[in-house]
Structure 1
Amino acid sequence: MLRCACQRLTAVPRQQGRNCVDTARLFSVSASRRADFTHAVIGGGVVGLAVARALAERAAAAPLSSASSSAAPASASSVLLLERHSDIGTETSSRNSEVIHGGLYYGADSLKTQLCIRGRQLLYAFCEQYGVGHRRTGKWIVAQTPGQREALEKIHAFAQSYRGGRASLEDDEVLPLRWVAADEAKRREPAVRAAAGVLESLSTGIVDSHGLMQTLLGLFEQAGGVLAAGSPLVKITPLGSGGSGGSDDDAPGSRGWQLHVKPADADEETVVTAETIVNAAGLGAAAVHNMITQRDSSGNSNKEPPMKLYYAKGNYFSYAASQPRVTTLVYPAPEPGLGGLGTHLTLDLAGRIRFGPDVEWVDDPTNLAVNAAQLPRAIEAIKTYLPGVDASALQPDYAGMRPKLLPAGGVAKDNKAPDFVVRSEPGYQGWVNLLGIESPGLTSSLAIGEMVEKLVYSS
């Protein structure tokens, strides 16, 4: 497995040859000098790592053309990955079910559907190529009532009709599903209750998220990228006239970006410059967004209301008993408005069972202590599809946090569920903004990296 060491954001080594390091260069604080980096990616979760790796490998192979880049980077490393914590992937990326999702729930015109399906295909191939632990487990979506059966039938109809941009299909590889007959279900998973039917997703699996992130980091650094962990941002300044002429040359960011970083143990800020920035900060994405939009080009306060994210905490529960034994993932039929897919049964690569996540709306994204008071409700939900579960063997395990674009019960203007936001931010040059990247963000990560690369290099 690939793994490289990160460095503090105080200096960047000049490289001589492949592995030789000469004297260090302090970062530029002057807009008149060439940018320290071609790209800066903010956020070292799995999505930020996938984006940074894609940009670093592209930049290493073919730097930005003069039409889209004012100058070549002054550093031998063209991509900087900023992470506020002391290590990568300590937030949402390491606190989830580690499920490779099929892409069943988000609608035909949803970016989530597009990126989940493409990401799933890329992820399986990536894991095979680099030896990242994973397994195609399949997933059962189970119904207990006629209403839940109807929900499964809608999913099945969607999967049959969805083409993913293809005019025709020779096989069932985009969203492969099948109904599991009652006798087969009883034979394969006798402990699972599915009174009204089972719909099986054949493309669902599980992945070692930590191994995935370490491999992405190794590839990023192998391509010349620099990880600066323990580097929280305190200010972002778009460089450019910010005038009203309407051309890209007048847009904020047209002359690059200054990023002000102040580690907790530092007395002063360090300022780095980049030609383009990508906000992949996950739980902190709204704060990064507001650093830019709440100040105009002169540093004055902006009247635009600040962006707000909402936080759905998910509690997970471990299972210590050896029975009942289940060998596939089990999800309850989806119910609108829950903010998640229900408390489901997942497996790790060793075959151990865990349950979760539930949904608990909180105000503080750092509130990651497992709420043991949620356990009785989780047991009630689990028993609907696994009646033989030993409640005494369930224990609080860990909690994750999902950044939501709408609060509990919130519905978008078009009456659809909130989608991923992946866009070149209007009114700015050189800023790609990623907002509301929750599930299926892990599955979609490589596809998001691919999409961001295209956005950056097409502008």
Structure 2
Amino acid sequence: MLNGNIVLRSLVPKRFFHASSPSRVDFSHVVVGGGVVGTAIASELQAVDGNSVLLVEKNEDLGMETTSRNSEVIHAGLYYPKDSLKGQLCIRGKNKIYDAWEKGLFQVQLKKCGKWVVAQNDSEAEYLDKLYKNCQDLDVPVSMVSPSLAKSKYPHIRAEAGALESPTTGIISAHELTTFYQSNLELREGTIAFNTKVNDIQFNKGDSSYTLQLLNEDGSDMEVTANNVVNSAGLYAPKIANLILPVERHYKSFFAKGSYFSFQPETPISSSKITDKLIYPCPNPNASSLGTHLTLDLGGQIKFGPDLEWLDIEDASQIDYSASSKNQVAAYEAVKTYFPGITLGALQPSYSGVRPKILSADDNKKRFADFVIKEEDHFPGFVNLLGMESPGLTASWAIADYVRDIYHK
């Protein structure tokens, strides 16, 4: 039985909830979290005949948190182990995006600009060799660039021990990608609840359904039922999972903040004269961070980031997203290793994002943290997505396929 009000928006006629609904539950699936991943999942599930999907988003629009606070890079899939979800889904997602774009089926701004991973010494050159071999195993196209060629092509960029070039790295509008998924969801007659939070989830053992208590921003609450629940709440995913899991199976939240800096050179210089490719240093152990890299926006402007700052908080509601100059010197020192002409004053704090982590700072240095995408034991139809950080944007379409196949093998 449904009660209360909920904010809905759709490009097709709005679907309201009625107490007289003949179905046993209100929806086949409820997807919690309207970031780029959750919206993609909702769209793909709604595309399956017979499904009725509700996407629940606590903000007034989709993609307003982690999705809107990243580098907007289409990752090639260089860094991840072959058998990892990050590796497999990044490559599949990248290929789906480029394939649709090349066929004219994908009206989203993007640019296949390529990138260099630069090395400055023998140990970093060894890393590039290992990375090259990993790319061969993954069937990701790359090539090695000699120090002399690197210097002649981009004189402003330092690559003392050479570089690895990735031609399938690109940049994309995260907002337009999310809107693409949203449009597909709405045209397929899916439902979106905006300004709505999930307060509680109950598992009904009798019929293996779920009851979700929802709270609207105006203070009204309501109850919806579903056969299945997908937890794609990003930074809030552990909190949502813990609403239903027993205490001994609760997940802990870890948060890693990354700040971005705009490039405002004291002596004017065109970005294109510096590089027309993304420039990455060799990353930290286990790719817990890809380093403070040089990236480009779709307008061709340079920006730097993100750096890595672990937050000592327990809940995503405590995050302070304000851009601060406190990390400016550290960012300058990091960038100077591959762009020696940079000056401290040329870096200006711009914005920040926060990565949802499944491991602590210490554990991230010890082992690789993969995506967690799984149906929880003893809770049939309840699928958790945890640690959905980079390359989540690139992998989003493939993640949606992966979750759909959990339900529809």
Q: What's the TM-score once normalised by structure 1's chain length?
A: 0.81
Displacement of 1:333 after TM fit? 0.9
1:261 and 2:214 are equivalent in the alignment: yes
Contact 1:142–1:333 (8 Å) recurs in 2: yes
Aligned to 2:155, the other structure's residue is in SS state coil
Deviations 1:163-185 (A, max 9, x none): xxxxxxxxxxx310001123332
Contact 1:82–1:228 (8 Å) recurs in 2: yes
- Corresponding position of 2:27: 37
Displacement of 1:320 after TM fit? 2.1
Displacement of 1:371 after TM fit? 2.7
1:46 and 2:20 are equivalent in the alignment: no
Aligned to 1:399, the other structure's residue is in SS state strand
Task: Give the share of equivalent positions with the same residue, in percent.
Answer: 41
More helix by share: 2
- Corresponding position of 1:161: 137
* Residues 1:367 and 1:27: Cα distance change in structure 2 (over 3 Å): farther
- Corresponding position of 1:197: 162
Contact 1:143–1:333 (8 Å) recurs in 2: yes
- The residue type paired with residue 399 of structure 2 is I
Give the gaps of 5 or more residues in structure 2.
Answer: none
Which of these residues, 317, 332, 342, is aligned with residue 291 of structure 2? 342
- Corresponding position of 1:401: 354
Separation in structure 2 between the aligned mates of residue 401 and residue 11 of structure 1, nearest angstrom: 27
Aligned to 1:387, the other structure's residue is in SS state coil
- Corresponding position of 2:407: 456
Separation in structure 1 between the aligned mates of residue 372 and residue 187 of structure 2, nearest angstrom: 29
- Corresponding position of 2:77: 103
Separation in structure 1 between the aligned mates of residue 74 and residue 342 of structure 2, nearest angstrom: 25
1:117 and 2:91 are equivalent in the alignment: yes
Contact 1:100–1:205 (8 Å) recurs in 2: yes
Which of these residues, 57, 78, 81, is aligned with residue 83 of structure 1? 57
- Corresponding position of 1:274: 226
* Residues 1:125 and 1:261: Cα distance change in structure 2 (over 3 Å): same
Contact 1:9–1:231 (8 Å) recurs in 2: no
- Corresponding position of 1:150: 126
1:326 and 2:275 are equivalent in the alignment: yes
Separation in structure 2 between the aligned mates of residue 80 and residue 46 of structure 1, nearest angstrom: 15
Moved more, 362-371 or 379-388: 362-371
Displacement of 1:20 after TM fit? 5.7
Separation in structure 2 between the aligned mates of residue 325 and residue 421 of structure 1, nearest angstrom: 39
Which of these residues, 131, 135, 150, is aligned with residue 111 of structure 2? 135
- The residue type paired with residue 72 of structure 2 is E
Separation in structure 2 between the aligned mates of residue 311 and residue 55 of structure 1, nearest angstrom: 29
Which of these residues, 312, 315, 323, is aligned with residue 259 of structure 2? 315
Contact 1:279–1:285 (8 Å) recurs in 2: yes
- The residue type paired with residue 35 of structure 2 is G
Separation in structure 2 between the aligned mates of residue 189 and residue 411 of structure 1, nearest angstrom: 33
Contact 2:12–2:189 (8 Å) recurs in 1: no
Displacement of 1:19 after TM fit? 5.6
- Superposition pairs for residues 308-457 of structure 1, below 5 Å? 308-321=252-265, 322-323=268-269, 325-336=274-285, 339-364=288-313, 365=316, 366-411=319-364, 416-457=367-408
- The residue type paired with residue 189 of structure 2 is G
Displacement of 1:12 after TM fit? 7.5
Contact 2:7–2:195 (8 Å) recurs in 1: no
Displacement of 1:405 after TM fit? 0.6
Deviations 1:381-440 (A, max 9, x none): 00000001133121100000001111112159xx63011011111111111111111010
* Residues 1:396 and 1:144: Cα distance change in structure 2 (over 3 Å): same
Q: What's the TM-score once normalised by structure 2's chain length?
A: 0.91
* Residues 1:281 and 1:416: Cα distance change in structure 2 (over 3 Å): same
- The residue type paired with residue 224 of structure 2 is V
Deviations 1:297-352 (A, max 9, x none): xxxxxx41521120000000001234362211000012316731100000001100
Q: CA RMSD in A?
A: 2.3
Contact 2:214–2:222 (8 Å) recurs in 1: yes
1:236 and 2:201 are equivalent in the alignment: yes
- Corresponding position of 1:177: 142
Aligned to 2:192, the other structure's residue is in SS state strand
* Residues 1:122 and 1:285: Cα distance change in structure 2 (over 3 Å): same
Displacement of 1:158 after TM fit? 1.3
Deviations 1:188-239 (A, max 9, x none): 2111000011110111000011111111111110001111110011000111
- Corresponding position of 1:55: 45
- The residue type paired with residue 214 of structure 2 is V
Contact 1:40–1:80 (8 Å) recurs in 2: yes
Separation in structure 2 between the aligned mates of residue 110 and residue 384 of structure 1, nearest angstrom: 31
